[in-house]
Amino acid sequence: MHRHVPPDNRGKDTARIAEAIQAIAARHGDRMGLDVPLSRMTTLRIGGPALAICRLHTPEDARRFLENARERDIPVVFLGGGSNVLADDAGFQGLVMHVATTDLVIRGDTVRAGAGLGFDALVTASLEAGLAGLEFASGIPGTLGGALVGNAGCYGHEISEFLVEATILRADGRVETVGPEDFAFAYRHTAYKDRSDLVLDAVLRLRRGDTAAAGETRLGIIAERRRKHPVDLPCAGSYFRNLPPDSPGGRRRAAGSLLDQIGAREMREGDAAVFARHANIIVNLGEAASRDVLTLAERMRAAVAERFGVRLREEVRHLTRFGWQTGA
């Protein structure tokens, strides 16, 4: 998931963009959907329509659609599994490229996988092939591409530990292979959150090990997730990032702990509510709108700031009418 391309399309005429998208659909309609609600594309089940969505099954699909969009000055965003995303009620005035590349090749201790492959599916496939290391990510929603762009992690591990290389489609149409240094990995952040580039696939290095023990770890983590996380309610995962440690080398402070202390679990705005079993998760009780979520999140943040003098930063990204919200 990345910023829109090009990044300066605020104020562009919707009718012109819609006409340009129709021209692309006339040539590639079998891979496109028009006026598709983003609520269908995100795990929070919120969001108005995007002018169009195209499905990228191959690197050539990605290159072709991006080239068409650039030629016609159409704003573009990339979307994988739609987790960690709040799509605006106003929808998106442009083209959403849905990454659906799911190829998987395992050789020795390396795994090459398409960026559209489900992250948890990758965990399962790796264990079945006798490779351990990714079990920490069991149950994490979304795709491999999204996990790399957001440097997904938990239980003391992050996806950045395993990346060997990735294939990238640059905003100018070039396809390049890059190493981990190009991502500039940080806590729940990479340089790719601020770029108009697309991750197409990646190679991870895992390890041969006791997959029976790793499988037990996986089952334990999934059970823990089911105990703490919503099972039947739409959500986007943890809403705010955890805080830096109090001292170098220490563990990050859980944002949920501060939110618990200000009574966040009792907070609700319309059909957006803080989950009863996790103070850092906002759920959609049925008809929540993006404005409900934003209002609720700001109430949570303000209460923490007043009590502790700490400003929480979102982990969930807001997709607005014009592209990804920046500066949060």
Domain spans, the chain: 14-99, 104-212, 242-312
- Domain 242-312 indexed as CATH 3.30.460.80: no
Please tell me the CATH code under which domain 14-99 is placed.
Answer: 3.30.43.10
- Sign for the pseudo-dihedral over CA of 189, 233, 116, 56: negative
Side-chain half-sphere of 308: how many Cα atoms within 13 Å?
17
Q: Which two tokens stand for residue 213?
A: 């023990």
The pLDDT-based confidence of 30 (bands split at 50, 70, 90) is confident
* More confident of the two residues 165 and 60: 165
Q: What is the pLDDT of residue 328?
A: 44
Q: What is the pLDDT of residue 4?
A: 46
Instruction: Tell me the C-alpha distance between 248 and 296, whole Å.
Output: 32
- Sign for the pseudo-dihedral over CA of 49, 50, 53, 59: negative
In what side-by-side order are the strands of the sheet with 268-269? 235-238, 281-284, 272-274, 268-269
Q: What is the pLDDT of residue 3?
A: 42
pLDDT tens figures, 152-189: 998 889 999 999 999 999 988 889 999 999 999 999 89
Which residue numbers are catalytic?
Answer: 188, 238, 315
* Residue listed under structure tokens 């292979």: 177
Q: Looking at this protein, which amino acid is placed at residue 279?
A: A
Q: What is the pLDDT of residue 2?
A: 42
Q: What is the pLDDT of residue 195?
A: 85
Q: Looking at this protein, which amino acid is placed at residue 248?
A: P
* Residue listed under structure tokens 């992250």: 119
Instruction: Tell me the C-alpha distance between 321 and 328, whole Å.
Output: 16
With the CA atoms of 23, 24, 28 and 30 taken in that order, what torsion angle do they form, in degrees rounded to the nearest 10? -80
Length of the chain: 328
Mean pLDDT of 294-317: 97
Q: What is the CA radius of gyration of the chain?
A: 20
Please tell me the CATH code under which domain 104-212 is placed.
Answer: 3.30.465.10
With the CA atoms of 238, 48, 231 and 113 taken in that order, what torsion angle do they form, in degrees rounded to the nearest 10? -70
Cβ-count burial 207-243 (b if 16+ within 10 Å, e if not): eeeebeebbebbeebeeebeeebbeebbbbbbbbbbb
Q: What is the pLDDT of residue 231?
A: 86
**Arithmetic mean of pLDDT over the chain:** 92
pLDDT tens figures, 108-146: 999 999 999 999 999 999 999 999 999 999 999 899 999
With the CA atoms of 225, 44, 160 and 179 taken in that order, what torsion angle do they form, in degrees rounded to the nearest 10? 150
Q: Which two tokens stand for residue 115?
A: 């960026």
Whether the CB-CB separation of 201 and 8 falls below 8 Å is answered with no
Q: What is the pLDDT of residue 326?
A: 67
